[in-house]
Amino acid sequence: MRLVNVFAALSGVLALFMLVIAAHVLNPAPEDAERIHLGAFIQLVAAVTGLVLAGRSGMLNAIAAAMILGGAALFSATLYALAITHDRSFIMLAPVGGTTLILGWLALAAAKPGRT
């Protein structure tokens, strides 16, 4: 689960980076700032969840962690890209990321909370 720990930490770094960039560099329009804040919030929650799951054993915990982190990354990246570029080309990836995120939480509900 070391890889989950690394990806969770990097997810947290990226979310905080986007918040700092939005606050000090981009000067986004209110709707774009809201997109960045939502993406960062979702990504930070997923990062904390990934860090917690990194201490658990079991295949279902690993799958849930991967789905939560991956889904949050895809969803958030879509929001970040839309807020920064206003290009709607990749907007169809947001529901894929959101669905993956939800399915990851459902997998976590079925997983055993065992420690390593």
pLDDT the model gives residue 114: 72
For residue 56, report the phi and psi dihedrals to the nearest 5 degrees.
-105, 155
User: What pTM did the predictor assign?
Assistant: 0.92
59-85 and 30-53 helices, crossing angle to 10°: 160
Q: Which helix (DSSP H) or strand (DSSP E) does residue 111 occupy?
A: none
The domain limits of the chain are 2-110
Are residues 63 and 50 in contact, defined by beta-carbon separation less than 8 angstroms?
Answer: no
pLDDT the model gives residue 1: 74
Are residues 56 and 111 in contact, defined by beta-carbon separation less than 8 angstroms?
Answer: yes
pLDDT the model gives residue 116: 55
- Mean pLDDT of each 10-residue bin along the chain, 116 residues long: 92 96 92 96 97 93 96 97 94 96 96 75
- ∠ at Cα 95 (90, 109), nearest 5°? 140
